[in-house]
Each structure stands twice: as C-alpha cells, then as structure tokens.
Amino acid sequence: MKTKFIIPIFITVLLFTNAISANVKRNLVEDPEKDRIIVYVLKNILSRYHYVQKGLDDDFSEHVYNEFIDALDPSKRYFTQEDILEFSKYKYLIDDQLRNTKIDFYKLVYGRFLEKLGDAKSIYQSMLKESFNYSKKEEINVDYEKMPFAKNDSELLDYWRKQLKLSVISRVEQAEGSQEEKLKKDKTFKKKSFVELEKEAREKVLENMNELYARIDELENSDWYSSFLNSIVSGFDPHTTYMSPRVKSRFDQDMSGKLEGIGARLQKKGMYTHVIELISGGPAWKQGDLESGDIILKVGQGEEEPLDIVGMRLDDAIKFIKGKKGTEVKLTVKKIDGSQHVISIIRDVVELEETFVKSSIVEKNGKKYGIINLPKFYIDFSDLNRRDAAKDMEREIERLKSEGVSGLVVDLRDNGGGSLKTAIEIGGLFIDKGPIVQVKYRGEDPMVKNDIDDKIQWTGPLVVMVNEFSASASEIFAAAMQDYKRGVIIGGKQTYGKGTVQNILPINRFYEQYPSDLGSLKMTIQKFYRINGGSTQKEGVYSDIALPSRYSYMEFGERDLEGALPWDKVEQANYKAKNSYSNFGDVVYNSQQRVLSDQKFQKINEYAKWLKRNQDDNVLSLNYSNFKEESLKRENEGKKYREVFKFKSNLSFNSPKYESQLFKKDTVLKDKRLAWHKNLKKDIYMNEALNVLSELKMNKGYSIVKH
C-alpha cells in the first residue's frame, strides 16, 4: 500500500490530553480513606526499598506538581495562568502534604479539571459548526512543553480554535490527496469540492472528539487517581509505576498486550498505544513496516472506515486489532520521524515457537558461517526442566559446529531482554568461566554474577549484532563480550540503555488489614553494571562498529526518559580480557571505511539527519495554501528516502540440516524459515556483519585464561 508523509505530529489528536481517566460524572474522591492509605504505603515502600534514597523535599514537590498538571493538560487546552497561579500555592508543599498523608493538591487540581472538562464539549461542538478562515495567515507551534498556558479564557479559546483548525485542514489535505490517487486510477472519478471536503472533515473531527469524551465518561475515578500516584512515584525514576488492580490484572494476563492477531506487544502510555516489541516470525514481523516505537492511532478492518483508538483502554484497543486468521487489519501509525503511515497486515496465528532461538547457515568466500537469532532471553521459572534460551543456544551452536561453520553471528537486534540467569549462562558459552555482570542494591556492594562452567561452547570468531532496541539482558551479554574482547559488537551507535531491575510488590502485603485490593507497585530495586565497572544505565553499550540507522541523530532510549537514573560506575570485577583476535583493530577500521564509502549507508545517514530536522520542526502554517505547500515539500523530500533500506545481497541463507527433517512434517515452519532467509538476504546490516566476521582471525597465541 502506498503511504504518504504527513506533518510530524498527531494531527487528529492534538486536542486530546493524558487526562482521559477523569470522569466528570463521578464524585471528586470515591474512597478518601483508601486513597490516603495508598499514599501512606507507597511513600513508605519507596523510601525503604527503592534503589534511590530520595527525600521528600521541595524539589520532589515541584516534580509532582509539574508532572500532575502536565498529565492533565499536556496540550495546554484546559488550564489558564490564573488556574496555575492558584495551584502554585502547593508547589513546594506537596512533600509536606504527603508526609501527613494529605491530598489537598490533588483535590484542587483534579476538581478544577473536572470543571474544565465540563466546558470542553460545548467549546469544540460550537467551533466545529462553522468553517474556519483558511486564508488567514497564521501559524501554530505544537511544541506544547515550551508553550505557556493561556493568559485567560479568551486566549484559551484561541488555542482551541487553532488546534481544531489544524485537525480539519490536515484531514482536507489528506482527502484531496486521496482523490488525486483515485483519479489516476479512474478517469471517470468525480472529485468533491473543497467546501464538501471541508464539511466532511469538520464532521469527522467532531465525531472523533465525541468518541473521546464518551470514553472519558466510561472511566472511573480510580483510573485518574492512578495518574496522580504515578506523578508521585515517577519522582524516583521513570520505571517505577503504580498499577491499579485492573491494570495489574491485565499485566498478568497478557504482559502489556501480546496480540495473537498481528504478533506484537503493546503498552499504554498516557493516551497512546505504543508498539514495544514485535514477535519474531509473526504477521507484523513478516510484513516488515510496523516497528518497535511506533504509536497506533487508528485501526481499520479491511476497507472499513478506521476507528480512532487514541484514549482507548489497551484491552479495548486489542479487541479491534485482534481478529481471525486471514483477515486484514489496517493500522494508522505515527513513526519516530513524526510521519503517519497506513500499514496493512494479514492476521495469523502467532506461534510461541517464533520467540525461540533459530539459526541459519550462509556461505561467503568459500566458508560457512552461522547466524543465530535470539529474540529474547526466555526461561520458564515454574519448570526449569523446560527449554530456555541458554539450553537452546548451546544446542544450536553444537549443531552449527557439526556443519563446519567458521564463524558465528549472534543477532540481538530488537531483543528487549528477559532472564538474567540465561544471559549469564549464554555469556558463559563463549568464555571458560568468570564474571559476566554485576548487580547492586541500594547502599550495598555490587554482587558479581559469574559463569561457573569451565566448558566453552564456541571458541571461534564472534560478531554480536545490536540496535537501539537491544536492552537489559541483551546489553549485559553484549557488554561482557566487549569487555572480554571476545566478540565484535556491531549495529546502532549505542543500545537502549536500560540498566535497572524492577520488582512488582502488592501493596496489601504492607497493609494487610485493608479489606480490598490496593493495587501494586512496580519499583526499581537494582542496577546492572558491566564487569569493567561501568553501568549499562543510560549509556547502554557503544558498538565497536557503529552503522548509520534512522535513530542515529535522535535522543532515543533510556537517555530520552525524563528522570532516568544516571550512569555511574563501581569497581571493576576480577577478570582478564581474552587475547582472541590478531587483527581486531584492522577489521574494525576496514568496516568503518566500507561504511563511509558505501552509497547505501551514506543515504541512510542522510536520511537520519533529515528525520532529526523533521522532528524538530514544530511550527505549522494554518493558511491552507501554505499548509499544502509545506506538506508537499515534505512529501517530495521524503520520496528521496523511500527506498533507502532497499538492498539485496548475493548471499544464500539456508536452514541447518536438522531442520530439513522437521520441514517434512511441518510445512508452516518451512515457510517461516524461507521468509526469514529472504529477509536476511535483503538486510544490509547483516551483510556488513558477515563482512566483518569473514575478516576476523583468531590469534595464534589465543589461550583460555583460567580463573
């Protein structure tokens, strides 16, 4: 399906706020005693057990103040400076209130917000009755973080007008573009006039707004109170979150949205549904356009009108995305560059098998090389006799060795982590024994986690592939291979940078006498450190060979999260680097020179710079002619990069011999492997990883250092 670059913002949802949990029909506080108890228990748990010892002081108070107001009104569409002035009396008192288990600040701000929500319907319904002045020369800045609150109600109405106008003209512009496409295919197609398209656009914006506020009416007070609690707990770090009983129940059921229909895991952040992981081998993974980091705005069933899911509960959104095998779902997504695309995916059954280790063999310059794809560091702690990532990796390496491979690529791209235990054991497959990672609790010395098995499963050349979505356990393994100088790390400039560990604690455990469920706290309790002493937090792992990607110039990953714990270091563990390669420096240099002179990589680098510029452009014209001109310019610029990742190598990828027997009984598995091999052939990053692997030479004096 042809997709079109559109302005780099959420056009149809500019007016929506994170405050969708508020319910204007409900009382201000449903259960004041319960709310106070939750605050009391949370502050005690956090002060005693969180990795960071943080005092409830004026700085903390200011954080809660800003976070809570921003959670209600991130687009500055409800509060005025007059409201903020009234709220500000609590700016440095919230810490004192929390110590005394008071929630006066919450009641004031939330109560005012309910009043503002009551006015919102009449505002947008009234404004959308008549067309706007589209010839007026005016602009809108959509960088809401830097935009001040409206001075008064009159300026507030002008904020509404501009954002509604932007929503309408963006729809008109898209509709005109769609008509042009239809006319190219059908010369008899009758185009609608601007007046007709504008009227339809206003009606559609009105419909979306009504749907949003209908969803607001269905939500409960406890949903919104959860947002206030998260404003508090986020003062410790962004991964510490409060989960209401309903949210915790859904978390237990599907781990934030594993979708059977398209093969993706979703997570709700504020009002938006984010793609956080694609299931390897699933329909979305095979289709190739949906990516981790995408935000789903709309869901369409085949040729039906798409449904706007902004503000929708995650479990409700999942109902529309899931569906019968063979049916089509069309997702309107917002990409990292701010563009919107419509992605068509044919639903299928997502096999758990596809999350397991798999391997391929490729011939290059007369030698065989093995590729092992590890989607996650999986384990079943309820039954340790079942398969896990470490056992599967060991077995897969043995199979590849039996076929005479000369080198090994371990592909950890998009691997978000998993079991620390399996990461340590997999690291041990490439060294004799010794430290793999250090783990530290607050106020305690770091604990060194060792591989204790003398056996080395693979002693030959090793290349580890990573990208900006390789996180947690992936970073532990990659860091260990880098510190031991055991493998070459190749991929994005640096990995995600998640060097913290969270634990989920039921709040009732600390207040057993309360009769109902108080929810749970997901809290950061530990930090990871490399064996060289440096943390993987924020910095992640820097690649030995950094390849240009679409994220090269963007702040991305843990370092982009406000309040993320800082990078620091502890003492180095007792380990010795392996004298593995005789030409490590030469191989790295050769790769860097190839990348610098390669036209495809040059184009990707140019594309990454363009994405960054596009992301930073926040001022848009509200004059329709100028708006169209800007949009057309951006689309034409984008055309230069449509095939930026199009690549085809002359390599041939094949399954290891043992799978040939499986294919006789399982033709579905055969088809999945063929699809994977087809993708590997088109993978420019894999191609360079194999170039590097083919050049590596083991040092003749290479020896295993015993500890």
**Catalytic residue from among 472, 520, 535, 552:** 472
Token pair belonging to 401: 């060795």
- Give the span between the Cα atoms of 166 and 172, in whole angstroms: 10
- Give the span between the Cα atoms of 8 and 261, in whole angstroms: 28
Largest CA distance in the chain: 81
Q: How far is CA 638 from CA 99, 292, 497, 607, 634, in A?
A: 53, 21, 30, 9, 6
| Partners of 341 in the β-ladder | 333
Amino acid identity of residue 382, one-letter, is S
Alpha helix (H) ranges present in 598-666? Answer: 599-616, 624-639, 657-665
Which residues fall within 8 angstroms of residue 457, CB to CB, at 6 or more apart? 393, 394, 397, 398, 429, 430
- Give the span between the Cα atoms of 652 and 153, in whole angstroms: 66
Amino acid identity of residue 556, one-letter, is F
Q: Are 223 and 244 in contact (CB under 8 A)?
A: yes
Number of Cβ within 10 Å of residue 234's Cβ equals 21
472 is a catalytic site residue: yes
**Catalytic residue from among 83, 95, 483, 683:** 483
* Residue 251: its H or E element: helix 245-254
- Give the span between the Cα atoms of 323 and 259, in whole angstroms: 10
- Token pair 């503002």 is found at 116
Token pair belonging to 192: 């609608």
- Token pair 């009105």 is found at 206
- Give the span between the Cα atoms of 142 and 163, in whole angstroms: 9
Q: Is 186 left (phi over 0), alpha (psi -120 to 50) or beta?
A: beta
- Give the span between the Cα atoms of 295 and 623, in whole angstroms: 28
**Catalytic residue from among 248, 335, 449, 498:** 498
Tally the C-alpha atoms within 13 A of residue 228's C-alpha that lie toward its C-beta: 24
Please list, residue by residue across 147-174, b when 16 or more beta carbons sit within 10 angstroms of its beta carbon and e when fewer do: eebbeeeeebeebbbbbbbbbbbbbbbb
Q: What's the first-to-final CA gap in the chain, in angstroms? A: 58
Where are the strands (E) in 493-592, listed by range?
Answer: 500-506, 520-529, 545-546
Q: Is 635 left (phi over 0), alpha (psi -120 to 50) or beta?
A: alpha
498 is a catalytic site residue: yes
Please report the sign of the dihedral spanned by the C-alpha atoms of residue 313, residue 315, residue 316, residue 318. Answer: positive
| Tally of helices (H runs) and strands (E runs) in the chain | 20, 20
**DSSP symbol at 572:** P
- Give the span between the Cα atoms of 15 and 197, in whole angstroms: 21
- Give the span between the Cα atoms of 42 and 30, in whole angstroms: 19
Catalytic residues: 472, 483, 498
